Structure 1
Amino acid sequence: MNSEFINGRGAQHNSQNRFLQHSSEVLDDFLNYCEAENEKSDNNKTSYLEIYPKTILNKVNSPDIGFNYSMNPYQGCEHGCIYCYARNTHEYWGYSAGLDFERKILYKANAAALLEQKLRSKSWIPERIMFSGNTDCYQPIEQKLNITREMLKVLLKLKHPVGMITKNALVLRDLDILKEMASLNLVNVSISITSLSEQTRRTLEPRTASIKKRLFTVEKLAKNGIPVNVMMAPIIPAINNHEILPLVKKVSELGASSVGYTIVRLNGAVGEIFTKWVQKTYPDRANKILNQIKDCHGGTLNDSRFGTRMRGEGKFVEQVAMQFKLAKKLYLKNKNLPKLDYTLFDKQQTNQMKLF
Structure 2
Amino acid sequence: MTAINSKSTKFGGKLNLTSHVKYEHLLAGISGGVTSTLILHPLDLIKIRFAVNDGRTTTVPQYNSLSSAFSTIFRQEGFRGLYKGVTPNIWGSGSAWGFYFMFYNTIKTFIQGGNTTQPLGPTLHMLAAAESGVLTLMLTNPIWVVKTRLCLQYGAETSSNKAIEYRGMVDALAQIYRNEGIRGLYRGFIPGMFGVSHGALQFMTYEEMKNHYNTYRKLPIDTKLATSEYLAFAAISKLIAAAATYPYQVIRARLQDHHLNYNGSWDCIKQTWRFEGPRGFYKGMQASLTRVVPATMITFVMYENVSHYLLHRSKTIDI
Both structures adopt the same fold (TM-score exceeding 0.5): no
Structure having greater relative contact order (Cα 8 Å, sep ≥ 6): 2
How high is the TM-score relative to the length of structure 2? 0.23
How high is the TM-score relative to the length of structure 1? 0.21
Larger relative helix fraction: 2
Larger relative strand fraction: 1
